[in-house]
């Protein structure tokens, strides 16, 4: 998938680059809406491209769900959108 190219398959990202979802739990403390916005619009100052025109909304939601399931925990994972 698009995500693993920068965030790596293990979710640790790259030093000085893509977010590390494993060691920095604040990344997944964001709401689903905030994560969806980052995926759709990108994060220009961090170098993350926008995927809103590349990935349908359902795939963006699936990406957020995957992040939470694979790298989240009960303390940092807000309830899902639906």
Q: Does an H or E element contain 64, and which? A: helix 57-71
Percent of the chain whose pLDDT exceeds 70: 88
Q: Are 32 and 80 in contact (CB under 8 A)?
A: yes
- The b/e string for 46-72 (b: 16+ C-beta within 10 A; e otherwise) is eebeebeeebeeeebbebbeebbeebb
Tens-digit pLDDT profile for residues 14-52: 988 899 999 998 999 999 999 999 999 999 998 999 999
Q: What is the pLDDT of residue 6?
A: 92
pTM: 0.82
Q: What is the pLDDT of residue 49?
A: 94
Percent of the chain whose pLDDT exceeds 90: 74
């Amino acid at each position: 998938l698009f995500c693993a190219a920068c965030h790596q398959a293990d979710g640790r990202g790259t030093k000085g680059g893509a977010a590390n979802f494993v060691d920095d739990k604040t990344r997944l403390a964001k709401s689903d809406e905030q994560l969806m916005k980052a995926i759709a619009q990108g994060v220009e100052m961090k170098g993350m491209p926008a995927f809103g025109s590349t990935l349908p909304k359902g795939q963006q939601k699936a990406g957020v769900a995957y992040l939470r399931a694979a790298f989240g925990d009960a303390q940092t994972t807000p309830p899902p959108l639906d």
